[in-house]
Amino acid sequence: MKAFLALEDGTLFTGRSFGATGEQWGEVVFNTGMTGYQEILTDPSYCGQIVVMTYPLIGNYGINRDDFEAKKSFIKGFVVKEACGHPSNWRAGYRIGDFLAREGVPGISGVDTRALTRHLRSYGTMRGVIATGAVDTAQLVEKAKTCPYLSGQKLVADVAVKESYTIEGQGPRVILIDLGSKQNIIRKLKERDCAVIVVPPDITPGQIDQLAPDGVLISNGPGDPVDVPVTISTTRFIIGKYPLFGICLGNQVMALALGAKTYKMKFGHRGANHPVKDLRTGRVYITSHNHGFSVDEESLKGLDIEISHINLNDNTVEGIRHKHLPLFAVQYHPEASPGPQESDYIFDKFMDMMRGEGQ
């Protein structure tokens, strides 16, 4: 069956359908990771987005039981050059196409993904519609033009937990404010024997006090950070009160709570090869990224915040630290999954901070 991807600027890509059939709209973004599609498909931060993989052979090692970052996939569509119908890996349980079908995600293969990526790189991330079967392509373009922008969609509510739950542990008590957390953040805390209390984004400062945590971690999540005002204001209340650590959207939320600004990037960072420099040690780490928004460096001036990490490719802010209070955050993904594991030390820093060390 044929499938189409129409962009809001009228560009149309034709390919073959795989996965679910039907029509979906979303923001079209590309990811340059060569492995890790299963983690990407189940990363809640991609909610509302149609993801293009730049590596042409996707699905080679199938879908397995272990590498899920969430119980389901929140992405709107998946675009590849070639979807592997015959995966080969000892852990492979399913084909990628079957997985997408089960999750209701339409996929399109046979697309010149490099052409599409170059287009997005040149003109920026844009809205698009993915559809399968016999469709009116002019109408698809029209839909792409009129569908909602990513900003304003309040996607966090779709992916975050509704009810708190606790994972037992003998170590520090960590509140994880779930804006769409990847499972690996929880795994990283569990590895360190933390007691993790996963709470919804609308938790109040009072509720946090009642839980008496040793530290609070604000997770990654989808969409524009300004669309989670409740969490931003909650964060404002707990700054300085508890050691605070933010990842990705959590980083942006903290920056906004501290009075800084965020902006939408032209096409964002999505991949597993971004060089990030830790400005304190001078060491460069290759890191996993998935963000379309960034903290505005200018807006940090005059605040009690220093930039702890920058991206060597475009010098954007990749990490912030409060000059006096126990608070730091990173824009990239120290939990990896997918991507390089070398930023694991960031979790150790959080542990140190909760023990009152390091700052």
Six token digits for residue 325: 């209070």
Is residue 273 within 8 A of residue 31, CB to CB? The reply is no
Query: In the complex, what is the shortest distance from the CB of residue 245 to other proteins, in angstroms, rounded to a whole number?
Result: 22
3-state secondary structure 51-112: EEECCCEECCCCECCCCCCCCCCCCCEEECCEECCCCCCCCCCECHHHHHHHHCCEEEECCC
Per the annotation, the verdict on 289 as an active-site residue is no
Catalytic hit among 69, 248, 291, 322: 248
Residue for token digits 């960031």?
A: 346
Q: Which is nearer to other proteins, 91 or 355 (CB)?
A: 91
**Measured between alpha carbons, how far is 359 from 356 in angstroms, rounded to an integer?**
8
115 part of the interface to other proteins, by CB under 8 A: yes
Q: In this chain, which stretch among 148-156, 194-202, 258-266, 280-288 interacts with other proteins, using CB under 8 A?
A: 280-288
**Measured between alpha carbons, how far is 19 from 78 in angstroms, rounded to an integer?**
9
Query: In the complex, what is the shortest distance from the CB of residue 89 to other proteins, in angstroms, rounded to a whole number?
Result: 6
Q: Which residues of 190-206 are buried (b: 16+ CB within 10 A; e: fewer)?
A: eebebbbbbbbbebeee
Q: Which positions from 72 to 101 touch other proteins by CB under 8 A, shown as an x/- string? A: ---------xx-x-xxxxxx----------
Q: Which is nearer to other proteins, 16 or 154 (CB)?
A: 16
61 part of the interface to other proteins, by CB under 8 A: yes
Query: In the complex, what is the shortest distance from the CB of residue 18 to other proteins, in angstroms, rounded to a whole number?
Result: 16
**Measured between alpha carbons, how far is 250 from 179 in angstroms, rounded to an integer?**
8
Interface pick for other proteins out of 274, 291, 321, 333 (rule CB under 8 A):
274
Six token digits for residue 20: 């679910």
Interface pick for other proteins out of 32, 137, 164, 359 (rule CB under 8 A):
32
Kindly list the catalytic residues.
Answer: 248, 333, 335
Chain contacts with other proteins (rule: CB under 8 A): 30, 32-36, 38-39, 54-57, 60-61, 64, 66-67, 81-82, 84, 86-91, 112-115, 117-118, 121, 271-275, 277, 282-284, 286, 312-313, 336-342
